[in-house]
Structure 1
Amino acid sequence: MQDPNEDTEWNDILRKKGILPPKETAKDEEEEEEQLLQQQSVVKTYESMTLEELEENEDEFSDDDEAAIEMYRQQRLAQWKANELKNVFGEVKEISGQDYIQEVNKAGEDIWVVLHLYKQGIPLCTLINQHLSSLARKFPQTKFLKSISTTCIPNYPDRNLPTVFVYRHGDMKAQFIGPLVFGGMNLKADELEWKLSESGALKTELEENPHKQIQDKLMTSIRCSMPTKRDSDESDDD
């Protein structure tokens, strides 16, 4: 005997005539689709609520509500993971002036951009590029760029190098221009990290400015090496 659930033209004719019942799988698919639509409707109701409002109404949630909210949570989690993967950089990218609009102005929503203008043969520029490479690996959500100064900005003066610009949504949020701002060749990677964190370009775990620690140690060393009044009096007595 022929299977009544089998997909054949003859069975389709018999179903249309009412001789065979509808396929069970089709009924199941309809129920699943209807349930999905109900869940999506519930999601639209709750996704406009704040976290506090959701917590206040939590006791009133039905099983369908709980299922819908869990579905919504999974959707948002998947979206967040996709954005995280999309917005990972992890290296310092070399650009030219032609790339500026695409790489800086159109970097993307909520993307912080750090652009270093440099020139070959300037030691401090080389040092900052090295530090930025390590920071790019440490903070992959921040977009790190570098460009030869005159390639990016024609006739940009060498006395302003190194220069670091910080952007977000295409707007400049901070600028660091000239060697004095960076403290010369004694600049450490964590000091540059702190400087960029103050502009908002990255979220550091450093609790205070490392350069301040160096200054405090230097002042302590100077105070310890200075003769006290008592030492000076004893020297006079001799």
Structure 2
Amino acid sequence: MERLIKKLSMTCRSHLDEEEEQQKQNNLQEKISGGSVRYVSLCSPLLALLQMNLKEFAMMNEDQDDEEFLQQYRKQRMEEMRQQLHKGPQFRRVFEISSGEGSTLIMVHIYEDGIPGTEAMNGCMICLATEYPAVKFCRVKSSVIGASSRFTRNALPALLIYKGGELIGNFVRVTDQLGEDFFAVDLEAFLQEFGLLPEKEVLVLTSVRNSATCHSEDSDLEID
């Protein structure tokens, strides 16, 4: 009888935990649906991963100096990056986050307006989206996913890369590596250095390296 009572107790707790988690997911979805999201679609598990990564950032950063923490965080994530990438659906443009596919390689730009490097990153992603149609390029405001003001102040612009629902690349404050005004070729070379871009399709007619528009104007592009 004692074992049965214990088993029932564990089952009830498990069920309540599931209900609580589902409620959190529903609240997040309502917030995203009614917010100012303008350009794509990631699945809620991926949005949950984004939030979990930001919580991890906050916990690790509580008692550490900003510069030391950022260096440690980059090193830790770079060690976890994977080199094997596979082709998936074709997109050819930049999307705003709301839901998405777990099997697709997804690059997520976390940003806030007015942060140095944000406009440059947006322009670069527009260019790269046409060059790598098998990759889904997305962006989301840090406020939409509940990032702390500390994360927004110290880590943006940030670029998170997911494959199969797992985080395989994480770059915080990319302006430390690329500067505040950079081009698509710079971001492309940076990602290729870590093996985070697939091979370009043979039939793609335009090239990031010989596209004058992307090279000279991507820092000023606006995404409607």
TM-score normalised to the size of structure 1?
0.43
TM-score normalised to the size of structure 2?
0.45
Which structure's relative contact order is higher, taking Cα pairs within 8 Å and 6+ residues apart?
Answer: 2
Q: Which has the higher helix share?
A: 1
Bigger radius of gyration among the two:
1
